[in-house]
Amino acid sequence: MGSAALGLAGTGVFPPVLGGLIKYAGMVELVAGYDPESVTDDEALANVVGSNVLAIGVLGIVCGVVGAADPAVSTVSWLVFTVGTIVFAARAIRGARRYDTRPSN
Instruction: Name the pTM for this structure.
Output: 0.85
* Cα 49 off chain centre by: 8
Average pLDDT over residues 56-65: 89
* pLDDT of res. 84: 97
Position 1 pLDDT exceeds 60: no
Position 80 pLDDT exceeds 80: yes
Position 105 pLDDT exceeds 60: no
* pLDDT of res. 5: 66
Position 19 pLDDT exceeds 60: yes
Helices (H), the chain: 2-11, 14-23, 42-69, 74-97
